[in-house]
Structures are given as structure tokens and as C-alpha cells.
Amino acid sequence: MEPMRWLWMIWPLCLACTPAYAGLGMIVGDPLGTDAGLPSMPAQAWKGTPSLPALQPLATWTAADAQKVWTLPELTAFALAHNPQTAASWEALRAQAAALGMAESAWLPSLTLSTGARRSQAVATAGFSVPARNIVNPSFTLSYTLWEFGLRRAKVDAAKAQEWVAGYTQNQTLQTVIFNVTQAYYNLLGNQALLHADERSLAENEKAMEAAEVLHRAGQATIGDLYQARASLAQARSTLASQQQTVAAGLGALAAAIGIPPNSSIQIAQLQWEEQRPPHLRQAVAELLQAAEEANPALLAARAQLAAAQANVRSARASGLPSIGFTGTYGYQFQGGFQPGDTWSLGLSLTVPLFTGFNNHYDVRQTEALARQDAANLANTRLNTLSTVWQDYHTFQGNVAAYPGAVASLANARKALEVVLAQYKVGQATIQDVLQAESTLSQARYTLIDNLVKSYVGLAQLSQAVGMPLGDAQP
């Protein structure tokens, strides 16, 4: 009766403490002080002191690297080795490979060692006590699943397919890094070429300004002509200054693309835009469409994702079926006051899930729906890939086709400026004619450079869409 008496004494105390504790929580509100570091009102910024991981250093860029003249293949190789995106995708692939190992471990038996040590003493009802005893009982347990209707195989297939997804995702990341470097490289080449073109335009405006001043002093040009020449010269200087900042921004973009700080100095060869020609593409669009279906990493990743979803369906179906396992145990018990002894057992186990609250039923329905969703996503990815290849192909061909016209326009604009400037010096043309000819020539340079750069960037976009390098020429 003694234990029952204590129980009847403790039970009312617990009932009394429960509402008291709830009331204390309502009064205190934040008993552990978790609101201490929060702003006092919504309009204030949070100023906590978290313990964050230290920032890792970016890739090393030496003084020799800053002086070297880099080519596109060299910059691309550097980016693939140092850009954080490639490292992250590689680690994701390694993690998925480890997940595959976890799935394959189900084919092996499991062996565990467990041991317990205790000291106990019992009091007999007759009033005498049994001496205290020390007990230690280590034991080994071996278990192995003999048959489970393909559950392990399905999980291994799903993990293997997810490894394929990670592998193709890594390939896609590599192609993205390559394209980003290529795009930044060609944009920088183009902006540097535009900077040189702006310098030429500035020199031409200075010549026009000198001609206007000479004619004005000779009384053959009005003060209005002089003001217009000055305005055009000021505009040319402003355009040049703006382009200098665009080149600086392009250098930062290229630096970030290869994985170094944006304020790093990178030297690249100048674009010989007056001699350089657009790249040449040998394949027809039909060949590229077929190649994209076999090489595009995003499309391949979508196919692998569907394979993983189909394996998950098999896994969900098998998880609702019986399984047969083998178990074996061996233990040895040391007990104070008694002789030590061993214990062992061998047996088979049959597990039959009779009713799981329809959990397995809905698991199968969910995995089947996800598989159908992945099949639809695969079809959509395929259409998007083919459409992108088609669009990029014709965009590239359009830039190539426009190049001869841009070359002819530049040549004619140069001759036109020479003629108009000569006519202006002898009074047969106005300053408006000269400034218009200069503007036409400047625009022709811009058009040619832009067309050339776009052709190389367009080829890089097409290569990314197909999933393989295309073309055989680069500046």
C-alpha cells in the first residue's frame, strides 16, 4: 500500500502545478529570452551577432597573371578550375554518388554490437534483500534481408538515376561557365573595339573643329558652324568617357566569370575588327537539332530524372509487399556471484504489411503522379531545347549574313566623310554635312563591331543550346 499512498499524494500536486506553469508562461511570454536580439519595432533593421562561417578566399590572381595576355581557351580553363559554380556542382555529384552507396549498402548484412552494464539489488517481499550484483552482457546481432520483391533494386536504380541527374547537371554547369566566360570575353573585346572607334570619332571631330575654326577665321564659316562643331566634339568626348566606363565594367564581368575579384586586371588581345571575319558553321540546322537531343545536358538530365521517378514507383509498390529476413544474435553475460554464460538465437522473420492506413496506397499514387509530371517536364524540356537551337541558329546566320553589308557601309561612310570634308574646306558643303558624315561613319563602325561580336556570342549560345562546341574560328 505504500507505493499507492505516494501516488495519491503526487497526483494532486501534478494537477495543481499544470495550470500554474501555463499561467507563468502566459505572464512571462519569453521565459528563455529569445526576443532579446530582435528589433523593438518592424521598421528597425535586425542587428544580431550571428556566428557565421568565415569567407573563403577567391582564386589567386598574381601580378604575373595581371601582366599576361590571356586567350579565350586559357581563360576558360582557368574558370573551369576556379569558378565556385563548378566546385559546387562537382560536390553535388559526389554527394549523389555517396547516396548511391547508401542505397547499395542494403544488399549487405548489418552487424551491430551492443553491451550494457548495470548494478542492481532487489528486496524480497519476505523482508530480506538479495546481495547487489554487477551485470555485463555484450551481444552481437546479425540481420539480413533475404527477399523483398525488388525493393532494394528499385532504390538502387533510383539512386543511380539521381547520380545521372547530378552528372548531367554538372555538365550543364560547366557549359554555363564556359558560355559566361565566352560572352564576357567577346563583350569586352567588342567594348574595347568600340572604345578605339570612339577615339577615332573624337579625332575626326577634332579635325572638323579645326576646319571650322580655319574657315571661321577666314570669314567663310559662320559662328553657328563653329558652335555646331564644338557641340559635336563635346558629344564625342562624352561618348568616349562613357565607353571607358563600359570597358571597366566588362573587365569586372570577365573577372567574375573566371572566379576572381572584379577589380582584378586582365589583359586580352585587341579585336582586329577590320580584318576579322565572322565564324563559320558547317552543320545544317537539322543536324544540330538531332545533335541537341543526344548531347544537351539539360535534356539528358530530364531523361535521367524520369528514370529516377520510374524507379521510385517500383520502390513504392515493393514497399507494400512482404519481406523475408534472417536474424542471428550471440551474447555473453557476466553476472556477479554467478557463472558467466552465453546466449544465442537464429531465426527467420516474415514481415507482411496488412494495413498501413492507406499510406502505401497513396505513396504509390504520389510516385506515379510525379513520374507522369517528370514525363511531361521531359517533353517540355525537349521542345524548349529544340526551339532554342532553332532560334539561336537563325540568329547566328542572320548576324553572318549582315556582315558583308556592314563592311560595305563602313567603306562607303569613310569615302563619304573624305569627300564631304574636302568639299567643306572649299565651301561646297556645310558643317551639317560634315557632322552628318562623321555620325554615319561612327555608326557604321559601331554596326560592324556589334555585328562581329554578336556573331561570336551567337555561336557560343548555339553551342550551349546544342551541348557541344561548334565552329572552328575565334578572334
475 vs 67: CA distance, rounded Å: 20
Any idea which residue has 564581368 for its cell?
253
φ, ψ dihedrals at 146, nearest 5°: -85, -45
Whether 185 and 457 have beta carbons less than 8 Å apart is answered as no
Q: Where in the chain is the domain with CATH 1.20.1600.10?
A: 158-320+358-469
79 vs 182: CA distance, rounded Å: 11
> Pick from 256, 263, 252, 266: which is nearest to 82 by CA?
256
> Pick from 458, 434, 436, 454: which is nearest to 446 by CA?
454
- Count how many residues are written for the chain: 475
Contacts of 111 (CB under 8 A, 6+ apart): 140, 141, 142
99 vs 242: CA distance, rounded Å: 53
394 vs 306: CA distance, rounded Å: 31
pLDDT mean over 259-278? 92
Which residues are paired to 69 by β-bridges?
A: 267
169 class by beta-carbon count within 10 Å (0-12 exposed, 13-18 middle, 19+ buried): buried
* Helix orientation angle between 84-104 and 151-217, rounded to the nearest 10 degrees: 170
Whether 140 and 329 have beta carbons less than 8 Å apart is answered as yes
Q: pLDDT confidence of 28, banded at 50, 70, 90?
A: low
Residue 280: how many other CB atoms lie within 10 Å: 10
Question: Thinking of the domain 158-320+358-469, which architecture would CATH place it in?
Answer: Up-down Bundle (1.20)
Fold of 86-119+132-147+321-355: Outer membrane efflux proteins (OEP) (2.20.200)
What does each C-alpha distance from 44 to 30, 37, 47, 366 come to in angstroms?
20, 12, 9, 44
Q: Where in the chain is the domain with CATH 2.20.200?
A: 86-119+132-147+321-355
Q: Encode pLDDT of 385-407 as tens digits.
A: 999 999 999 999 999 999 999 99
pLDDT mean over 33-54? 88
- DSSP-assigned states of every residue in 33-98: -TTTTS-SSTTSPP-----PPPPPP-----HHHHHSEE-HHHHHHHHHHH-HHHHHHHHHHHHHHH
pLDDT for 401:
95
pLDDT for 134:
82
Report the SS3 class of residue 361. helix
Residue 281 has pLDDT above 70, yes or no: yes
Whether 178 and 80 have beta carbons less than 8 Å apart is answered as yes
385 vs 302: CA distance, rounded Å: 11
pLDDT for 274:
85
Q: pLDDT confidence of 16, banded at 50, 70, 90?
A: low
Any idea which residue has 572607334 for its cell?
197
Residue 1 has pLDDT above 50, yes or no: no
Q: pLDDT confidence of 334, banded at 50, 70, 90?
A: confident
